[in-house]
Amino acid sequence: MATLGLSEAERESVERFERDVIEPSMTALVIVDFWAEWCGPCKQLSPVLDKVAEDYAAKGVKLAKIDVDQEKLLASQFRIQSIPTVYAIYRGQPVADLTNYRSEGQIKKVLDQLLDQLKIEPEGAAPQAEIEPLVAMGEQVLADGDAARAANIFRQVREMAPDKPEVIGGLVRSLIAGHEYSEADDILGGLPEELSKSPEISRARVALEIASAPKVDTSSLEARLAANPDDHEARLELANAKMADGDRDSAADALLEIVGRDREWNEGAARQRFLQLLEAQGLEDPWSSAQRRRLSALLFT
């Protein structure tokens, strides 16, 4: 914003704007609230914006307030016609008009979308470009069967990116593979609700549920099935036991056998458990893809 020909007060106004909005917006998403003391709706919106800014400070969001009576030059530059007017600024440019969003939930929803689209990282966070190859390394080490080393890799990456669900999920699955169920459960139990809903955390949670199931002697279950192949309860228990032992192939075979014999048994319990098995393995895993094709062949032929 040019300052040639401006009064001293106007130059100070421009300098404040550059300091409080433009400079922070180079790395953060800045919410700019145009308001005035006499504006009733502004006073209603102000505490909502304060709360959202506080909740999202760690995610790379900052709040700046501009009194249009005190900062007439800025109000004219932004062509403010009515207040409150709220813009989101990133890298010195308006990227969204938030004026019509008045509730905390509405504002947070649009901020989530902006943060994702603009790839804005929290202040001090490691860039995603640095994190991705380390996560891939941890996943490869885990796939190679070295659970302890994979857990160490993911612990180190988590120090760089403490809130990345793919990092937390990888760490938890590494701990599960190493039979460190208590630590895995502690990590999952300490996550905030919004993070717990991510696919990576859901996968880890299902994996822990499967792996920590009580070990049982399967000989009695196999005897029941030999006597009655339609004993679906016994076959489901057998599948759960195989899952807990890490025998995913036998577990999948047992669950698909139930689906093939009676797909609606117990409100589709076998199919639901089968899908949980795939989720724990990873839905994009080649093994999971092959198992999905087996399920489809049963359901649609």
- Note the pLDDT tens digit of each residue in 142-196: 999 999 999 999 999 998 888 889 999 999 999 999 999 999 999 999 998 878 8
Q: What is the pLDDT of residue 182?
A: 95
pLDDT confidence band for 1 (50 / 70 / 90): low
Helical segments of 161-268, H only: 165-177, 181-189, 193-196, 199-211, 219-227, 232-244, 248-261
Half-sphere exposure of 179 (CA within 13 A, CB side): 4
* 8 Å CB contact between 21 and 89: yes
Mean residue pLDDT across the chain? 90
DSSP tag of 14 = H
Is 107 assigned a catalytic role?
A: no
Mean pLDDT, rounded, for 104-128: 80
Q: Which residues pair with 62 in a beta bridge?
A: 30
pLDDT beyond 60 at 232 = yes
Is 39 assigned a catalytic role?
A: yes
219-246 as b/e, with b when 16 or more CB fall inside 10 Å? eebeebbeeeeebbebbbbbbbbbbbee
Mean pLDDT, rounded, for 201-210: 94
Gyration radius of the chain's alpha carbons? 27
Q: What is the pLDDT of residues 158-172, one digit of tens each?
A: 988 888 899 999 999
Q: What length is written for the chain?
A: 301
Chain centroid to CA 30: 22
* 8 Å CB contact between 182 and 255: no
Q: Residue 81 to residues 98, 195, 280: CA-CA distances in angstroms?
A: 15, 39, 54
Mean pLDDT, rounded, for 254-280: 94
DSSP tag of 123 = T
Q: What are the φ/ψ torsions at residue 39 (nearest 5 degrees)?
A: -90, 110
Catalytic residue among 32, 42, 96, 211: 42
Catalytic residue among 28, 29, 31, 39: 39
Q: What are the φ/ψ torsions at residue 218 (nearest 5 degrees)?
A: -85, -5
Tokens for 198, please give them.
């991510």
pLDDT beyond 60 at 92 = yes
Tokens for 115, please give them.
């943060």
pLDDT confidence band for 128 (50 / 70 / 90): low
Mean pLDDT, rounded, for 5-17: 83
Q: What is the pLDDT of residue 269?
A: 94
pLDDT confidence band for 135 (50 / 70 / 90): very high
Tokens for 296, please give them.
């489809």
pLDDT beyond 60 at 234 = yes
pLDDT confidence band for 127 (50 / 70 / 90): low
Mean pLDDT, rounded, for 70-87: 92
pLDDT beyond 70 at 288 = yes
Q: What is the pLDDT of residue 129?
A: 66
